[in-house]
Amino acid sequence: SQQGEEDPQALSIQEGENATMNCSYKTSINNLQWYRQNSGRGLVHLILIRSNEREKHSGRLRVTLDTSKKSSSLLITASRAADTASYFCATKPSGGYQKVTFGTGTKLQVIP
Partner 1 sequence: DTGVSQDPRHKITKRGQNVTFRCDPISEHNRLYWYRQTLGQGPEFLTYFQNEAQLEKSRLLSDRFSAERPKGSFSTLEIQRTEQGDSAMYLCASSLSAAGSYEQYFGPGTRLTVT
Report, in Å, the least distance between residue 16 CB and partner 1. Answer: 28
Question: Does 31 participate in binding partner 1 (rule CB under 8 A)?
Answer: yes
Question: Does 2 participate in binding partner 1 (rule CB under 8 A)?
Answer: yes
Question: Does 69 participate in binding partner 1 (rule CB under 8 A)?
Answer: no
Give the span between the Cα atoms of 67 and 53, in whole angstroms. Answer: 9
Report, in Å, the least distance between residue 31 CB and partner 1. Answer: 6
Burial class (CB in 10 A: 0-12, 13-18, 19+), 74: buried
Question: Does 42 participate in binding partner 1 (rule CB under 8 A)?
Answer: yes
Give the span between the Cα atoms of 17 and 9, in whole angstroms. Answer: 18
Short-list 62, 61, 72, CA closest to 23: 72
Question: Does 98 participate in binding partner 1 (rule CB under 8 A)?
Answer: yes
Give the span between the Cα atoms of 32 and 64, in whole angstroms. Answer: 10
Question: Does 104 participate in binding partner 1 (rule CB under 8 A)?
Answer: yes
Helix (H, G, I), strand (E, B) or coil at 10: strand
The only residue of 74, 76, 90, 108 in contact with partner 1, by rule CB under 8 A: 90
Binding interface with partner 1 (CB under 8 A): 1-2, 4, 31, 33, 42-45, 48, 88, 90, 92, 97-105
